[in-house]
Amino acid sequence: MVTRLAVLSVPFVVTLLFIGPLPVSAFGSESGDQTFLPPTWAVQHDVACKVPTGKVDDASCDVDAVEQANSDQLHSILHELMNTTYFRLISISLEGKCKYWDKSISEAKCTAQTPVNPFAAAAANIPPPPQEKSQCSLDTGGTKVPAKEEEPELEEKDPYEDVDLDDDDDDEDDDFDDDDEDEDESPNFNPLKYFSRYTKTTDKVDMEISSREQATLELEPCDNASLPDFWLDMCRNIPTNSSDYVNLMLNPERWTGYNGSHVWNAIYHENCFEKMGDLEEMCYEERVLYRLLSGMHASINIHISLNYFPPSKRHNRSDWAPNVQRFMDQYGTRPERIKNLHFAFLVLLRSLRKAAPYLYNYPFSLGDGVEDRRTQRMVQRLLDSHLMTSCGQVFEAFDESLMFREEEGGATTQARLKAQWKGVFHNISTVMDCISCQKCKLHGKIQLLGMGTALKILLLPEQLIAASLTRPELVALFNTLAKFSHAIRSVPILAQQFLQFQRSYRTEILSEQLRSSENSAAPPPPSVSSLPPPSASASFSSSSSFFSPSNTVKVPVDVALDSAMAALAAAGMAGRIPEAEEDVLVDGLLARDEDLLLLARHYAPNSPDRFLRHAARRARTGAIGRGPRSVSAPPAPPAPVVDAVVIGGGLAGLSAALTMLDRGGRVVLLEKQGHLGGNSAWASSGVNAVDVNNTASGDSVDAFTADTVKGAGRGDNPLIPVLTSGSVDALAWLRGRLSEHLSLDLVGQMGGHSFPRTHRPSSGLAGSAMIFAIQKQLEKVLKDGSGRFELMKWTRASKLITEGGAVVGVEYDVYTAKEQTKPQSSGKLMGRNVLIATGGYASDYTEDSLLKEHRPDLLKYATTNNKGTTGDGHKLALAVGAKGVDLDDVQVHPTGFFNPRDPDNKVKTLCAEILRGEGGVLLDSKGHRFANELGTRDYVTGRMIQQEPQTLKFALVMNEATARKAETHIGLYTKKGLITKFETLEELAKWDYWGMFVTEKSLQQALKKYDEDAEKGIDSFGKKFFHNVPYNTNGPFYVGIVTPVIHYCMGGIAIDPEGQVLDKDMQPIPGLHAAGEVIGGLHGQNRLGGNALSECVVFGRKIGLSLPVGGGSEAGTPSISEPAVEAKGGESAGGGARKVTWEEMKKHTTEESCWVVINDKVYDFTNFLDEHPAGAEAILRFGGQDGTEIFEAIHTPEMLEDFTP
């Protein structure tokens, strides 16, 4: 669903002007330090937030198309691109002098006192758009703009008179200068300066550049004056010849305390078009420029609203916080301003599309080879986005050919219009120097430079584009595009935050009104001792109180329905709830479904998010619309529960299953195919692990971690240390527990690794050997008669069963080898935990595949994955609210075998990376080397695409020494006809793969050069490791044709370091775990060879060791062998003192029956779940467990006096 603005309950203080500048400067804004100013409900009214919909004016697509393209693809790429060194460093001059105001006026603008309601005063001084043309004050000749004769009137009340400025603590946010103790009595007293100490406003640009960044910079002048075309000097007045570079990551766009309304007044009002010839008022060109400036203005304002209130210990803010009231005051009733942001975004996208032939292979180079290639690949991915169904329209929505046409006015009128249009842009560029806030000036200039660069690209002939662009202009263009993208994405976020803020005040006042209408004879509030029991949630404030049923305000049905429908509308428009569930809930509310009414009355007014969670859960179970519940029907007998249901029989699932079985657990494993192994059985190179017993290797966990982080390309993440440190135990387990059928006696070095750490058997391929060894151990358990292990082949999991937000089982369908479309039977499995280990989605070419949704550009490639790798586990987890991570990160492996006898087969045999690791050499059709064969997969693939973009076919050549090292692989591939042996170099030169220019002599020269580089220890591609050299030109040689293929999905389901699946709020989903290729976030944008099998064993073992087995032992929860818990009195105790075993406790963990142990006593909280202010989930989390520690951390013992244990 496309993300949209919600229908909100919005108070509006002022009416904003159409087209004119927004209230207060977008370069900085009004001061204040309250995150939200409480609305006065009695004098304000509800207004629907007008959603920008329909066609984007002066463009050929609609708002929905822009937002969908941005959400689906563009925003994530741009966000990542801005983190690269090339695009975060820019040289731009901030030293220009203002030509239109003197310093005193300019600085007065910066430090002007801000009124209590700054919007009213600012709006009062903003002129509306001219209905008739006036003489431009800023003409093309550079006439100075006169200063305003009158400043906006300020209210007499000092907005800071209530601010406590006493330095009575050591709060770091108080920054006082002792020399200014009398400044408040000075006639020049500046309250904003006083306030800036209170909030630590920022003004100066952080000019820090790391030594590495400085070393990679190459200064480029911005001097295009000698080029003849008219539009080449669009950016003339935004000089970029500064010798200093600014790191944009250190200078984020946010509130600085600066009031730049005078600048925007000049930009909008003082720059107009002189009425010329027969052109109509507000001609197309004028509208284009206005919409661009308005879109830029909106973007700046949105970013300031996002980061408005600075960190403050006094206000318990650890980071910058948004000002949602400011955002809504500016845009709540002006959707056309947001649409101008969409328009500006489309113009910049169109400029990228036009410049794509030049930008696609542009060397975004700063000297760091790996970083440069990463940057170029991301740019190429952005430029290729137009191929996506959801993105294609937006790259062509703006038509620059409609500008400056020769119509009735003729060439003379057109020339005058061009000159004036460019002159206005130049004047606006010069006005940027009148911004006295340095950071504000930085962001204003960059975004104007970005728009100027886009206009230059669009208006220049295509043949001049390449010669006209400078590095600063490209950096500004991409950064501006990223800013617009982020602003578009942030609009619904700010709107939703404002909705929650308004609801909180509305509920308080509504409750107050209801309380005041109570009968005067109403009983007094209960004492503390009569309140219900405490929350088990650590996040619930210790100062919060509970409301017993007798003290809870009874919300009228119509109010509850209104609150529920508002929450549902907001969630639907924000895309936080599936359309099908939204339809069910809307119908249920309109029909006044009994269940929904009950939820609405207790949750919707105060806790709309909890209402949505419970309502959606009821909708998913089909409970909505069933009518009244039968409370007298006895509960159905529980289905047998196993310790774990494992979905997927690859290496991850098998490792977890065997580990749990070794601990005495009971496991059921579902495998949708008729055999075990999955893609793991196809992996041949080996498993990466640090061998601590081999001290001579020099390898270490730290080195493994560093290699993996570098390969991932996204910095540290908490999953990488789990993989690398866990590899030590994984290797010991493989060599020990599986030693009966597995021997990992060889070790090699693969691409991206700094040490040999890829372990493999001397006989057989690594993956299949490991699967076979585990399978043999599992067969023993199947035959031992214990019934602890059940293997269900040809069985597909169709749905995860949930209760109270936890996953408690699996629904499944059983197929046969011959019938794979219609299930033969179905059933349910209940498990204390469910492990998803279903692999990736790289073999799913169907219409609803994740591959098509997230990477349709890769559908043209073949795959190395088996037919079962179709993302089943991803879909199961996403359906219950799991968070997807990096789903567009799909790895293309550089070497899949191309079989000339079966060229169209979509499934290719993987050419194991160990062949290159042991010394294989890649040559193109001309017999030339073109890459470091040991580079990362994405690097080698990128070089291939550059070298042979049409055929994408290359030769892998190995000498005799390499072939001996990889004897098993060579034998297998030779039998399959994928590798051919040539006895001499002369025979190799006659191979029909080569182009016409390849001769024995040219091949000899290429291999000789390789040997010479090996002696030096480095070649021109940065290769440092040369195994099994020299290449004896006497032969024999082993060669095969390889081509890039889809190989691995780095993206997947989000998990924490323990393997627990996370929801969209990054909170664990109880009972749900994942391991193997199905998880996302571990490998970043590139997985190192050999890490796939390591991931499977490490995370499979980790989960297998952590899950409770046999009733809860070894998992940190009380085991059945521990002393029983005493329950004294009360219903749950059966009327008298008795012992409650932990086994019995485990039967009471759901909403139907929830028992919690506190101080060795059992409390039945079942009937209190819906009344708990912190929500039922906080108690259910400790259902069947001991909640003493968390209870005592939050509450006093008196809280339990209302309950009988």
What is the rounded CA–CA span in Å between residue 526 and residue 521?
Answer: 15
* pLDDT for the residue 814: 94
Instruction: Output the pLDDT for position 641.
Output: 80
282: left (phi over 0), alpha (psi -120 to 50) or beta: left
Measured distance CA(887)–CA(256) in Å, rounded: 37
Q: 460-464, 515-519, 586-590, 1032-1036 — which is least confidently predicted?
A: 515-519
Compute the half-sphere exposure of residue 142: CA atoms within 13 Å on the CB side of its CA: 4
- For the stretch 674-703, pLDDT in tens is 888 888 887 877 999 999 888 788 899 999
CA 1143 – CA 1149 distance, rounded (Å) = 12
| Catalytic positions | 893, 916
Q: Where are the beta strands (DSSP E) in 1092-1152?
A: 1125-1127, 1138-1140, 1149-1150
Mean of per-residue pLDDT scores for the chain: 74
The confidence score (pLDDT) of residue 916 equals: 92
User: Nearest-CA neighbor of 775 among 634, 650, 892, 929?
Assistant: 650
pLDDT digits (tens, 9 = 90+) for 945-960: 999 988 999 999 999 9
Count of alpha carbons within 13 angstroms of residue 991, beta-carbon side? 28
pLDDT at 120: 30
Query: pLDDT over 70 for what percent of the chain?
Result: 71
What's the whole-number mean pLDDT along residues 582-588? 82
Nearest Cα neighbor of 1013 from 1099, 1122, 919 is 919
Asked whether the predicted pLDDT for residue 515 surpasses 60, the reply is no
End-to-end CA separation in angstroms for the chain: 48
Which of 675-689, 694-708, 1034-1048, 1167-1181 comes out lowest in average pLDDT?
Answer: 1167-1181
pTM over 0.75: no
pLDDT the model gives residue 114 = 31
Supply the pLDDT for residue 640.
61
* Residues contacting 408, CB < 8 A, separation 6+: 277, 278
Neighbours of 864 (CB within 10 A): 23
58-116, pLDDT tens digit by residue? 899 988 889 888 887 898 889 888 888 899 888 888 878 787 654 433 333 323 233 33
For residues 112 and 110, give the distance between their C-alpha atoms in angstroms, rounded to a whole number.
6
CA-nearest of 594, 569, 603, 595 to 583 is 569
Q: How confident is the model at residue 802 (pLDDT cuts 50, 70, 90)?
A: very high
How many of the other CB atoms lie within 10 Å of CB of 429? 21
Retrieve residue 474's tokens.
């490209």
CB 624 within 8 A of CB 584: yes
The answer to whether the bond into 146 is cis (omega within 30° of 0) is no
**Better-predicted residue by pLDDT, 397 or 438:** 397
Three-class SS of residue 780?
A: helix
Average pLDDT, integer, range 470-482:
93
pLDDT at 944 over 90: yes
d(CA 731, CA 745): 12
Are 448 and 296 a contacting pair, CB within 8 Å?
A: yes
Give me the DSSP letters along 522-590.
Answer: PPPPPPGGGS-PPP--TTS-TT-----GGGS----HHHHHHHHHHHHHHHHHTT-S-HHHHHHHHHHHH
Render pLDDT for 604-648 as a digit per residue (tens, 0 to 9). 776 777 788 788 877 766 667 554 443 344 444 455 689 999 999
d(CA 429, CA 452): 9
More confident residue, 462 or 158: 462
Buried b (16+ CB within 10 A) or exposed e, 934-962: bbbbbbbbbbbeebbeeebbbbbbbbbeb
pLDDT in tens, 971-997: 878 888 899 999 999 999 999 899 787
Q: What pairs with residue 829 in β-bridges?
A: 810
- On the question of pLDDT at 36 being above 50, the answer is no
Q: Are 320 and 310 in contact (CB under 8 A)?
A: yes
